[in-house]
Amino acid sequence: MNNNLVSTSMEKSFGKSLLYTLPMFLITFIFISGGKVDFSNLPAALAIVVTFLFMNILYFMMHYTGKTDKFRVILFIIFALSLSFTLIKNMMEMRHSMSFSQADLLECKIPFCHLVIPMMIIPAAFTKSIIFPGSVIGGFADISSMIILWLVATLVLGRGFCAWGCFYGGWDDGFSRFRKKSVIKKISESWRWMPFAVLFMVALTAAMTLGPTYCDWICPFKAVTEFEQISSVESVAKAVVFISLFLSLVVVLPVLTKKRTQCSFLCPMGAVNSLSNKITPFVVKIDKKACSECFKCVQVCPLFALTKEDVKNGKASVFCSKCGKCVDVCSKNAIHFGIKGVPAGTMKNFSRNLFLFVSFLFISVFSAGSIINAVQSIFKLLF
């Protein structure tokens, strides 16, 4: 069989790709700009136009080349960088520092992120309250909006949130692509269960202390967002933990292993999202008839979501983030995006098109605010 011909079967002609991009073009334009761009504020208008065009070019390329992860990861990394940039910029403008003060804590002005959700469930059930010093509604990153965004994304995409929605994932996804070949090759798959242990531990300690213990003591992304003012031995210890975990799990290990080690071994939200993979409509399937069992997909999976057994069983495990890296690498076009209930190897194009539309719509609209903000700041610096 001609491998090349098979590998390109997800590709579309230029015209057809344009046609597939048109609905995304219109919808993202309406959702991102509100249907009109105000050119009286030129840097802001240009930032919107550049962001919007850039996103749609990526979406077009996904259809045109048939590759998913190759273009997804660009947006995913930019999202992570621009979110950190926007957050730090806001903090510097408002507080002249990357740390939050006791007044911010007392006045409940801390931006909420989805990683708090697993810790707030037990306390919410028993105390009928949220154990986080944030704003319930209104203001930057309020609790209600973040819950809704995460809930819908996780219902529809499952752990796809970890490749198409999370504003942290782009960090270790990015660093995992630094080298062509991995230095550390042998890592036991059993480590992928670690986030469940972390989830259990933080859910329990959060319930006992009525405090978001993961945010207070563990979260590596505090190193690139905001953290407590260094004013005591305890706050120094926390800063050391945040920075060490960031450097080891988000930077060094991903570079050496080519895996997303923070997301695979630590993040409790990753564990929750893996569970939600059980209910989502979209899955990654393997057409066993077409599969040559080369296991290239197993090698490239950044989340240890695919074992040889999974390939033989015809579907990726619950750890799958639907990033598409395995799909991009399969020369037989055997591994593909699918829909639950639809047999593997059938309706491949339809399933991919539908999945791409849903997941790309989410990441593009969700990330637009941060990216536009970052682009606008760059324009202001340049001109």
Partner 1 sequence: MKKLKMITGITWAFAGLILMFILFPGMNNLSMSVSKLPFMKINPNYNGGVVAKQIVEASCTLDIRKPVFDGLLKERKSGFVQIDWRGTVPDNIVDTIDYDLDEIPDFTITIDRIKSTTSINAMSSKVLNIGVSTPTSYGWAVRVNLKK
Q: Could you say which of ligand SF4, partner 1, none residue 354 binds, taking C-beta under 5 to 8 angstroms by partner kind? A: partner 1
Structural contact between residues 196 and 271, judged by C-beta atoms closer than 8 angstroms: yes
Site string for ligand SF4, 104-143 (x = CB under 6 A): ----------------------------------------
Task: Give the binding range for partner 1 (CB under 8 A) out of 58-66, 134-142, 166-174, 322-330.
Answer: 134-142
Q: Minimum CB separation from ligand SF4 for residue 170, in Å?
A: 8
Nearer to partner 1, 160 or 268 (CB): 160
Closest to partner 1 by CB, 112 vs 227, is: 112
Closest approach, Cβ 119 to partner 1, in A, equals 12
Q: Least distance to partner 1 from the beta carbon of 18, Å?
A: 21
Beta-carbon-side half-sphere exposure of residue 203 (alpha carbons within 13 Å): 17
Show Cβ contacts of residue 53 under 8 Å, excluding neighbours closer than 6 positions: none
71 touches ligand SF4 (CB under 6 A): no
312 three-class SS: helix
Q: Give dist(CA 113, CA 42) in Å, integer.
A: 31
- Whole-angstrom Cα distance, residue 201 to residue 207? 10
Q: Which of 370, 367, 357, 376 is nearest to 49 (CA)?
A: 376
By CB under 8 A, name the one of 361, 377, 378, 379 that touches partner 1.
361
Residue 229 or 248 with smaller CB distance to ligand SF4 = 248
List C-alpha distances in Å: 83 to 78, 91, 358, 366.
8, 12, 22, 11
Using the rule CB under 6 A, is 305 a contact of ligand SF4? yes
Among 19, 42, 124, 236, indicate the residue that binds partner 1 (CB under 8 A): 124
User: Is the Cβ of residue 59 or residue 161 nearer to ligand SF4 in the bound state?
Assistant: 161
Distance CA 377, CA 374 (A): 5
Angle, alpha carbons 174-179-182 (nearest 5°): 110
- For residues 160 and 239, is the Cβ–Cβ distance under 8 A? no
Question: Cβ distance 158 to 240 under 8 Å?
Answer: no
Question: Which of 141, 294, 358, 378 is in the footprint of partner 1 by CB under 8 A?
Answer: 358
C-alpha dihedral (144, 145, 150, 153), degrees to nearest 10: 130
* Interaction pattern, residues 147-186, with ligand SF4; x per rule: CB under 6 A: ---------------x---x-xx-----------------
Q: How do strand 99-100 and strand 227-228 relate by DSSP bridges?
A: parallel
Stretch touching ligand SF4 by CB under 6 A, among 43-51, 56-64, 299-307, 359-367:
299-307
Residue 227 interacting with ligand SF4 (CB under 6 A): no
Q: Please answer whether residues 234 and 263 qualify as being in contact, where contact means their C-beta atoms are separated by less than 8 angstroms.
A: no
Q: Tokens 């950044």, residue?
A: 302
Is residue 31 near partner 1 by the rule CB under 8 A?
yes
Contact indicator for 159, 322 with CB cutoff of 8 Å: yes
Does 122 participate in binding partner 1 (rule CB under 8 A)? yes
Question: Which amino acid is present at 76?
Answer: F
* Interface of this chain with ligand SF4, residues 306 to 365, rule: CB under 6 A: 306, 316, 320-326
- Nearest distance in Å: CB 27, partner 1: 8
d(CA 296, CA 331): 9
Q: Binder to partner 1 among 1, 15, 96, 137 (CB under 8 A)?
A: 137
Position 233 contacts partner 1 (CB under 8 A): no
Residues that bind ligand SF4 (CB under 6 A): 162, 166, 168-169, 263, 267, 269-270, 273, 284, 301, 303, 305-306, 316, 320-326
